[in-house]
A and B are shown apart, each in its own frame.
Chain A
Amino acid sequence: MMMDRRDVLVSGTSAAALGMLPWAALAQDAEPEKTLEELIAEFTGGAEVTEGEGIMLDAPEIAENGNTVPISVEAEGASEILVLAPGNPVLPVATFKFGELAGKHAASTRIRLAQTQDVTAVAKLADGKFVRTAANVKVTIGGCGG
């Protein structure tokens, strides 16, 4: 991911100011309202979802700071991509909808992860089919191997 020095400083200091421990510590005692599969079914309207082909989810294997984890998703010709974090207290992360002037159907952002988990992305492709993929991210709290 490309960030200039200023971006690094801004995100770094604000993450430190917020404190990363409370958010992660709270994650365990809040019950998610809907399960991962329920949310995916809601997104697809119950249609069949195939694994892999046609969708790419890029995330670091190890995230030292769960408060800001860079991810990027890409699905050629997709109209929508849903990103879910099954290990978070609130599973949905973001839904990207691509318009007619979108270039490559890809986007990068930074997300919060409460714990080590399989970040999941589901895309609605141009032909109306759905594909999903997942990437395991290890979250080491405090950066000293939690």
Chain B
Amino acid sequence: MTDFEPRIIAFLCNWCSYVAADAAGVGRFAQQANVRVIRVFCSGMVDPSYVIKAFASGADGVMVAGCHPGDCHYLAGNIKALRRSFLLRNLLSELGVEKKRFRLAWIAASESPLYAQFVNEFVDEVRELGPYLPPKTKAAKGVA
């Protein structure tokens, strides 16, 4: 299990977390190379289906990062992402995805060290969980 390297999809808000990730690069804040970033315009843009799609396509973890509550570039898109995340976590559980594999974080543009720290912690946690194995569907099992 020790050589398991998780693959994680990160949806980063263009206005804060993506800038923090860029700044983490400029500042050379080392991160484990397991996170694949997809830039979005707002954490509120991340359709729950994107997260499910990522797990279905083989991701071991998914993170969504946006602006701190009150700082959203689009007034309150991050709050909508937050509201959605509760339901999404339940849905993921239903689908057999451990809740720890999905994280929603607030990372401001100025918080590049925090971004690197968050990435490293999340990678460690997902590595601990091991690879995400989608459960065999009932239909597949039930075929006579």
Asked if A and B bind, the verdict is no
